[in-house]
């Protein structure tokens, strides 16, 4: 994905100069290794801050709802799928958008890299030819990029944007023969008691900061159910029942809509494997309806339509 | 001030002895990161750690605290009477806390322990606790304690400061509680001048590495409304997703919500961490919300830490430079960058 930065800046400059868009949403280089910051370029001066590398894991579709201007937006495969979901859910209009599609080779899992450094503090990192060179004051290590992708990226089958106005580069080859659900099958094979323990263990460190929810492009409700106060639906403490309620309801609310972009897992400050909740639902939707969220933009999603031949064996 | 040297191989026995008399908390690696936990036999305290993921504020101001309890049972003569929930205030030692995190408690005292208002739970826990700190030989790149009035070996929030000299620790007691602690370390030997010298060199080197990353005084001198109305907030706020990561990980964010939770006839009055990043935080009963917009909430966090708190208490900024928010903000909003914007010479209006 080298060279995207120049292409993004060139396109942004052109789109802003031609008044084709009012703003461009992309990333600017972060202040710490393996982090970039979502950035809104409003004028030609700001365009030179736009940047791209393997640390653009945040889903930029999250910044679209409620915008009324014309927006240029850089979109990886997953971001583009969430743009489709936004279009289907009337969160943004297609004519407001100019989508700069970014064929993607996966984003870097910063937490796994930091864990592999065993407490050593990196000062900079550089990606080149499939490797990541990490440098600190008294060390230098070279890591295989493919091995340190975000987990959702390593099993991604939609690396190329599904909707775009122009592509920043030639499409990348899609990964073939990917088994997306070995972990889900393991959980399915558990007894109910084992599953209960498994999920309780996953969320035992939750601090109810809602980074998972707020990083998610699907969470645009004006008032989230956890914030309803008249009457209050769910307690706010870290009582296990309330924590469970939040996580299970959140997962069900994104059923049939989640694109497995991994933003929730990436954002969680305590490293909860958030996708363990959503992947099972994603698998069910795929098996029941043959549907993948955010891939088709001109057909209603299965969970907001009724068809007489819908599967209903789960109604007992 | 007592100064003793204790060899590392003698430390486990010393900790074991302390555990017989006190609750002892120390940094332990659990799951994916370090956390302060109450040490039990067999727990592996790691004094080579950098810092805990969550700040140790939870040991004094827990995320979810049952303050009071009450009964709503019709046949209970004491129904409706709110009673303080019983708590454990046993003597405890927090071993290996970083100087910045300990200094944070002093800043938090401005809220919980004032001449007129004393939060009973905070002050009782503070009184029952001896803070045995561990100086930072190797600060992280996201640290900036020296820019905000503390430092990698600042003893001002501590009872005891330990300095890791390689094969052992220099132990310096700074308070009465610290002296009491030092007397309980049986295997100490008098600190040699060489040990003191080495500790001094480590301090100097760590402070030099950190340098000065921004100048909070320049912010203090600015006009409040000029900062409030500055145009840069629009750029700062864009990427913010309004999660509570920064505030929940922060050692100096003390805000909380109070909720009554009732299960059938038994109720608890809970005190739960809250965050100025959440819209509900400022929602009035009338439905009006003075901080309904993201920009207002983002601005509030930085203005509170770097402008309102210093203006109100005249004791420096409400930030200790631990860098947790820098490391863990999911969208890389960096308080050091914001402070630089706030302290820049010209904060021109839009």
* Range(s) of the domain holding residue A26: 1-106+155-178
A171, A243: one domain: no
Q: What pLDDT, on the 0 to 100 scale, is given for residue A244?
A: 96
Q: What pLDDT, on the 0 to 100 scale, is given for residue A119?
A: 84
Q: What pLDDT, on the 0 to 100 scale, is given for residue A74?
A: 98
Residue A269 Cα, gap to closest chain B Cα (Å)? 6
Q: What pLDDT, on the 0 to 100 scale, is given for residue A45?
A: 97
Among A124, A146, A178, which residue terminates a domain?
A178
Q: What pLDDT, on the 0 to 100 scale, is given for residue B345?
A: 75
Whether A41 maps to a domain, the answer reads yes
Q: In the predicted model, is pLDDT for residue A73 greater than 90? A: yes
Whether residues B239 and A237 touch (CB distance < 8 A) is answered with no
Q: In the predicted model, is pLDDT for residue B214 greater than 50? A: yes
Cβ atoms of A180 and A153 closer than 8 Å: no
Which residues in chain B have Cβ-Cβ distances shorter than 8 Å to A31?
Answer: 326, 332, 334, 336-337
A93, A186: one domain: no
Residue A118 Cα, gap to closest chain B Cα (Å)? 10
Q: How confident is the model at residue A231 (pLDDT cuts 50, 70, 90)?
A: confident
Q: What pLDDT, on the 0 to 100 scale, is given for residue B42?
A: 86
Whether A143 maps to a domain, the answer reads no
A40, A164: one domain: yes
pTM: 0.95
**pLDDT tens-digit readout, B236-252:** 999 999 999 999 999 99
Q: Which residue has the tokens 């005084």?
A: B217
Q: In the predicted model, is pLDDT for residue B348 greater than 60? A: no
Domain count, chain A: 2
CA–CA distance, A164 with A83 (Å, rounded to integer)? 10
A276, A174: one domain: no
Cβ atoms of B245 and B325 closer than 8 Å: yes
Nearest chain A residue to B33 by CA: give it: A270
Q: In the predicted model, is pLDDT for residue A314 greater than 80? A: no
Q: In the predicted model, is pLDDT for residue B279 greater than 60? A: yes
Instruction: Tell me which residue in A36, A205, A267 faces B31 most closely, judged by beta carbons.
Output: A205
Q: What mean pLDDT comes out for the span B89-117?
A: 97
The distance between the two most distant Cα atoms of chain B, rounded to a whole number of Å, is 72
Q: What pLDDT, on the 0 to 100 scale, is given for residue A2?
A: 65
Residue B309: Cβ within 10 Å count: 20
Q: What pLDDT, on the 0 to 100 scale, is given for residue A313?
A: 82
A161, A225: one domain: no
Which residues in chain B have Cβ-Cβ distances shorter than 8 Å to A58?
Answer: 330-331
Q: How confident is the model at residue B5 (pLDDT cuts 50, 70, 90)?
A: very high
Among A178, A211, A241, which residue terminates a domain?
A178
**pLDDT tens-digit readout, B28-51:** 999 999 999 999 988 999 999 999
In the sheet that holds B23-30, the strands lie side by side as: B33-38, B23-30, B92-97, B129-134, B160-164, B168-173, B3-7, B189-190
A224, A171: one domain: no
Residue A275 Cα, gap to closest chain B Cα (Å)? 16
Percent of chain B with pLDDT over 70: 99
Whether A14 maps to a domain, the answer reads yes
Cβ atoms of B96 and B164 closer than 8 Å: no
Cβ contacts below 8 Å, chain A against chain B, sum to 113
A172, A258: one domain: no
Q: Where are the alpha helices (DSSP H) in chain B?
A: 11-21, 99-112, 120-128, 176-183, 193-210, 216-220, 224-228, 232-238, 245-249, 294-303, 309-313, 324-328, 335-343
Whether A142 maps to a domain, the answer reads no
Whether residues A31 and B270 touch (CB distance < 8 A) is answered with no
Q: What mean pLDDT comes out for the span A10-16?
A: 98
Q: In the predicted model, is pLDDT for residue A58 greater than 90? A: yes
**pLDDT tens-digit readout, B112-154:** 999 999 999 999 999 999 999 999 999 999 999 999 999 999 9
Q: How confident is the model at residue B350 (pLDDT cuts 50, 70, 90)?
A: very low
Q: In the predicted model, is pLDDT for residue B297 greater than 70? A: yes
Whether A133 maps to a domain, the answer reads no
A168, A184: one domain: no
Whether A274 maps to a domain, the answer reads yes
Find, among B99, B125, B91, B122, the residue nearest to B109 by Cα: B122
Instruction: Tell me which residue in B49, B259, B327 faces A32 most closely, judged by beta carbons.
Output: B327
Whether A113 maps to a domain, the answer reads no
Measured in whole angstroms, how far is the alpha carbon of residue B224 from the centre of its chain? 26
Portion 233-252 of B in contact with A at CB < 8 A: 235, 238-239, 241-245, 247-249
CA atoms A212, A218, A223, A225: torsion sign: negative
Q: What pLDDT, on the 0 to 100 scale, is given for residue B44?
A: 92
Length of chain B: 350
Nearest chain A residue to B325 by CA: give it: A269
A174, A31: one domain: yes
Whether residues A215 and B241 touch (CB distance < 8 A) is answered with yes
**pLDDT tens-digit readout, A264-310:** 999 999 999 999 999 999 999 999 999 999 999 999 999 999 988 88
Whether residue B197 lies within 8 A of chain A, CB to CB, comes out as no
A199, A305: one domain: yes
Preceding peptide of B84 cis, ω within 30° = no
Whether A285 maps to a domain, the answer reads yes
Query: How does A33-45 read in b/e, with b if 16+ C-beta sit within 10 Å?
Result: bbbbbbbbbeeee
Q: What mean pLDDT comes out for the span A133-143?
A: 95
In what helix (H) or strand (E) does residue B37 lie, and over which residues does it extend?
A: strand B33-38
Q: In the predicted model, is pLDDT for residue B321 greater than 70? A: yes
Q: In the predicted model, is pLDDT for residue B346 greater than 70? A: no
Question: What does the mean pLDDT of chain A come to?
Answer: 95
Q: What angle do CA A95, A100, A102 make, to 5 degrees?
A: 140
A21, A161: one domain: yes
Whether residue B263 lies within 8 A of chain A, CB to CB, comes out as no
Question: What does the mean pLDDT of chain B come to?
Answer: 95
A50, A165: one domain: yes
């Amino acid at each position: 994905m080298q060279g995207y930065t120049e292409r993004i800046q060139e396109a942004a400059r052109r789109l802003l100069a031609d008044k084709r868009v009012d703003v461009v949403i992309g990333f600017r280089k972060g202040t710490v290794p393996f982090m970039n910051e979502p950035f809104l370029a409003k004028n030609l001066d700001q365009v030179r801050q736009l940047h791209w590398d393997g640390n653009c894991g945040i889903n930029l579709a999250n910044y679209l709802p409620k915008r009324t201007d014309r927006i240029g937006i850089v979109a990886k495969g997953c971001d583009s799928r969430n743009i489709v979901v936004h279009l289907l859910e009337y969160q943004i209009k297609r004519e407001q958008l100019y989508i700069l599609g970014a064929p993607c080779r996966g984003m870097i899992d910063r937490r796994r890299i930091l864990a592999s450094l065993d407490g050593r503090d990196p000062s900079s990192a550089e990606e080149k030819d499939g490797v990541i060179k990490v440098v600190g004051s008294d060390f230098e290590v070279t890591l295989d990029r493919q091995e340190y992708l975000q987990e959702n990226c390593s099993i991604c089958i939609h690396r190329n944007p599904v909707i775009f106005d122009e592509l920043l580069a030639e499409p990348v080859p899609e990964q073939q023969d990917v088994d997306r659900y070995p972990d889900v099958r393991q959980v399915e094979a558990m007894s109910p008691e084992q599953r209960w323990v498994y999920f309780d263990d996953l969320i035992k460190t939750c601090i109810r900061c809602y980074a998972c929810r707020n990083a998610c492009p699907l969470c645009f409700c004006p008032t989230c159910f956890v914030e309803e106060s008249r009457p209050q639906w769910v307690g706010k403490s870290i009582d296990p029942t309330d924590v469970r309620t939040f996580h299970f309801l959140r997962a069900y609310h994104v059923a049939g809509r989640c694109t497995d972009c991994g933003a929730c897992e990436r954002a969680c400050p305590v490293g909860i494997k958030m996708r363990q909740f959503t992947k099972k639902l994603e698998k069910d939707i795929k098996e029941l309806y043959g549907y993948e969220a955010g891939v088709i933009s001109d057909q209603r999603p299965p969970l907001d339509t009724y068809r007489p031949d819908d599967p209903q064996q789960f109604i007992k | 001030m007592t100064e003793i040297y204790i060899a590392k191989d003698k430390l486990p026995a010393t900790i074991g002895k302390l555990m017989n008399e006190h609750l002892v908390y120390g940094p332990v690696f659990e799951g994916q990161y370090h956390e302060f936990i109450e040490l039990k036999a067999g727990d592996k305290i790691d004094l080579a750690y950098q810092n805990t993921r969550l700040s140790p504020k939870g040991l004094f101001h827990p995320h979810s605290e049952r303050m009071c309890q009450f009964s709503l049972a019709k046949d209970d003569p004491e129904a409706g009477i709110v009673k303080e929930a019983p708590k454990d205030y046993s003597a405890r030692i927090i071993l290996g806390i970083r100087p910045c995190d300990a200094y944070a408690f002093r800043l938090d005292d401005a809220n919980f322990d004032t001449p007129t208002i004393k939060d009973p739970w905070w002050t009782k826990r503070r009184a029952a606790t001896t803070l045995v700190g561990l100086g930072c030989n190797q600060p992280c790149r996201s640290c900036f304690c020296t820019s905000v009035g503390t430092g990698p070996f600042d003893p001002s929030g501590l009872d005891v400061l330990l300095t890791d000299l390689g094969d052992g620790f220099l132990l310096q007691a700074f308070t009465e509680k610290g002296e009491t602690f030092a007397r309980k370390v049986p295997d100490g030997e008098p600190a040699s001048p060489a040990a003191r010298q080495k500790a001094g060199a480590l301090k100097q080197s760590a402070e030099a590495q950190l340098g000065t990353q921004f100048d909070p005084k320049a912010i203090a001198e600015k006009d409040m409304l000029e900062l409030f109305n500055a145009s840069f907030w629009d750029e700062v706020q864009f990427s913010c997703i309004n999660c509570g990561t920064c505030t929940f990980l922060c050692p100096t964010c003390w805000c909380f919500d109070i909720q009554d939770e009732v299960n059938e006839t038994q109720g608890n009055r809970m005190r739960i961490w809250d965050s100025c990043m959440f819209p509900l935080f400022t929602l009035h009963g009338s439905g009006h919300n003075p901080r309904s917009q993201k920009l207002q909430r983002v601005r509030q966090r930085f203005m509170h830490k770097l402008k309102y708190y210093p203006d109100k208490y005249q004791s420096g900024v409400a930030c200790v430079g631990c860098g947790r928010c820098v490391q863990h903000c999911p969208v890389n909003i960096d308080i050091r960058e914001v402070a630089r914007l706030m302290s820049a010479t010209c904060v021109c209006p839009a």
